[in-house]
A and B are shown apart, each in its own frame.
Chain A
């Protein structure tokens, strides 16, 4: 075996060691934390890209921990779907950690810097573990690792409201965790297997069992809470709005995406389309709730007076778009949904970075205090406009491409009404994106006393933001290359090769 074959386990084992190294080195000198974290996450990203290339070339990569083949052992399995998600989340993690350095100095006290980087590293590792594992119980273990790191990170803003947000999330997250564990137990009771492919193979024999139905519901509801799917989203606005900017970026782009990934994986790989279409028809219901989420999230977002809170509600709306793909459940819609996982991560990451920069410089994210901000922060507001255009779905951005595939898929499945509602949701997105643009560019306020002084943030915060904004555009233009990964991923979910 060459070193390349061991990359899947390096993705998890090395970062855990690195998080310990950050802890110990941080005691020595606090300045070591950031470089170690950056190098680790960069090398994780590199490894993810290599693995993805290998998957596209040779098919699914499997790694048996301890040399025990399933069903005895735990396996790490990377196919085109989770390879794509893996590269996406690590790309965003790299952007976030570069952005985080200045943001942490500003928002989190120096005595908590070490803890921040340790938890950040653990959160990323937990999410990577969730993405690449091929074992349903292992999925739960990594979910808890990432959740516990996330609770602590949200509370690290050290404001009373952030403690409350973290505690609310802790309660709901624990309920979700309990549901997921019960669901996993039900599947184990029905099949006697924990490996995902094994369960998928054994499950059809017990499709009619009430145990399986209950397990399905527990798993779907549990992961829907973690993904903040519409009626289960109540933890999300506070958690996003009250946590430090760097944490908001990471949990809004990476963490929610991995929960959505887990949901896709459970529904399509474990239960397969045969179950959700014929035995236990839920796709229609999910489709309905997803459209409600789109509209409701967008409408509430328009009503917000705080930039971060507005973006948080917009996330609820966007999760609706991804779940829309799950509800339609055909090839084209799933391609759109998977594309939207990447697209939403990139554009929401960029938007939250702008919000973080505004907090960094102006000290508030209340929309009414941000009049004319574009005159002092031109680059940030331009990035917001670009990512916002992608959020609305203006061609040729990535947001347009994913929504185009979603609508196409819905039309192919004959869901005319839902396709129309999806377009209406995009119109509502114009509402909240334009609101900030209008305040930033056309209102007075920030140009008065400050004169020619620019408020742009340090380059280490601007660079990842600009990079993500440009990615919104470039990914949309060069979408053909992405489709070569997304297409096989979607057909894999539907049970094809």
Chain B
């Protein structure tokens, strides 16, 4: 692909904004519309934009397959661990209120929801990016 300076500059400019918006969507999940899945997809969209602008190999050097696997595992681990932590004070799985009652910190359940959403977001982002890598991978050189 011929490198186009407009595409490159605009995407370089847009990527941080997309990512901040993604974080907003993730964190908003505790209160209203939004959440880890949607935010994760938006975050992955920033990588897709970079792939379109700079090519697959360039993005892959910075964010390789090993990172993707580790991040997707990390995300689920955050989710499942918080879920299991809720069992310690005697609540059910993912019953955030039980931890809040134990530690006595107000609004803790909200933060825990955010943490879970971040976990989901990380996994979705990593998985979406890996799907794009696999689809864009022509098996040889990419033109």
A6 to chain B: which residues have CB within 8 Å?
87, 92-93
The verdict on B11 contacting chain A, using a C-beta distance below 8 Å, is no
Taking a contact as CB atoms under 8 Å apart, the answer to whether A67 and B97 are in contact is yes
The chain A residue with its CB closest to the CB of B83 is: A13
Taking a contact as CB atoms under 8 Å apart, the answer to whether B76 and A13 are in contact is no
Taken residue by residue from 339 to 379, chain A's Cβ proximity to chain B (1 for < 8 Å, 0 otherwise) reads as 00000000000000000000000000000000000000000
CB distance from A66 to the nearest CB of B (A): 4
The verdict on B102 contacting chain A, using a C-beta distance below 8 Å, is no
A64–B69 Cα gap in the complex (Å)?
31
The residues in B between 74 and 111 inclusive whose CB is less than 8 angstroms from any CB of A are 76-77, 80-81, 83-84, 87, 90-98
Taking a contact as CB atoms under 8 Å apart, the answer to whether B93 and A23 are in contact is no
The verdict on B73 contacting chain A, using a C-beta distance below 8 Å, is yes
A20–B77 Cα gap in the complex (Å)?
8
B90 to chain A: which residues have CB within 8 Å?
1
On chain B, the number of residues with a Cβ less than 8 Å from chain A's Cβ atoms is 19
Taking a contact as CB atoms under 8 Å apart, the answer to whether B84 and A13 are in contact is yes
Q: Contacts A23-B69, A23-B73, A24-B73 given: A9-B93 contact, CB under 8 Å?
A: yes
A384–B23 Cα gap in the complex (Å)?
58
The chain B residue with its CB closest to the CB of A12 is: B93
A24–B94 Cα gap in the complex (Å)?
25
The verdict on A313 contacting chain B, using a C-beta distance below 8 Å, is no
A123–B81 Cα gap in the complex (Å)?
21
A40–B97 Cα gap in the complex (Å)?
29
Taken residue by residue from 46 to 88, chain A's Cβ proximity to chain B (1 for < 8 Å, 0 otherwise) reads as 0000000000000000011111000000000000000000000
A67–B94 Cα gap in the complex (Å)?
8
Q: How large is the interface on A (under 10, 10 to 19, 20 to 34, 35 or more residues)?
A: 10 to 19
The verdict on A17 contacting chain B, using a C-beta distance below 8 Å, is yes
Instruction: Find A66's partner among B73, B76, B80, B94 (CB 8 Å cutoff).
Output: B94
The chain A residue with its CB closest to the CB of B95 is: A67
Q: Contacts A13-B84, A23-B69 given: A66-B77 contact, CB under 8 Å?
A: no
Taking a contact as CB atoms under 8 Å apart, the answer to whether B73 and A9 are in contact is no
The verdict on A479 contacting chain B, using a C-beta distance below 8 Å, is no
Taking a contact as CB atoms under 8 Å apart, the answer to whether B69 and A67 are in contact is no
CB distance from B14 to the nearest CB of A (A): 32
The verdict on A16 contacting chain B, using a C-beta distance below 8 Å, is yes
The residues in A between 274 and 288 inclusive whose CB is less than 8 angstroms from any CB of B are none
The residues in B between 92 and 138 inclusive whose CB is less than 8 angstroms from any CB of A are 92-98
A13–B91 Cα gap in the complex (Å)?
15
Taking a contact as CB atoms under 8 Å apart, the answer to whether A66 and B92 are in contact is yes
Taking a contact as CB atoms under 8 Å apart, the answer to whether A17 and B92 are in contact is no
A13–B81 Cα gap in the complex (Å)?
9
Q: Contacts A6-B87, A67-B98 given: A13-B73 contact, CB under 8 Å?
A: no
A24 to chain B: which residues have CB within 8 Å?
70, 73
A66 to chain B: which residues have CB within 8 Å?
92-96
In addition to A63-B92, A64-B92, A67-B97, 13 A-B residue pairs with Cβ atoms within 8 Å of each other are: A6-B87, A9-B93, A13-B84, A17-B76, A17-B81, A23-B73, A24-B73, A63-B93, A66-B95, A66-B96, A67-B91, A67-B95, A67-B98
A–B Cβ pairs within 8 angstroms, 17 of them: A1-B92, A6-B92, A6-B93, A13-B83, A13-B93, A16-B80, A17-B80, A20-B73, A20-B76, A23-B73, A24-B73, A63-B92, A66-B92, A66-B96, A67-B92, A67-B97, A67-B98
Chain B interface residues (CB < 8 Å from chain A):
69-70, 73, 76-77, 80-81, 83-84, 87, 90-98
Q: Please provide the 9 A-B residue pairs with the shortest distance between their CB atoms, ordered closest to farther.
A: A67-B95, A9-B93, A66-B94, A20-B73, A67-B92, A17-B80, A66-B95, A13-B80, A65-B93
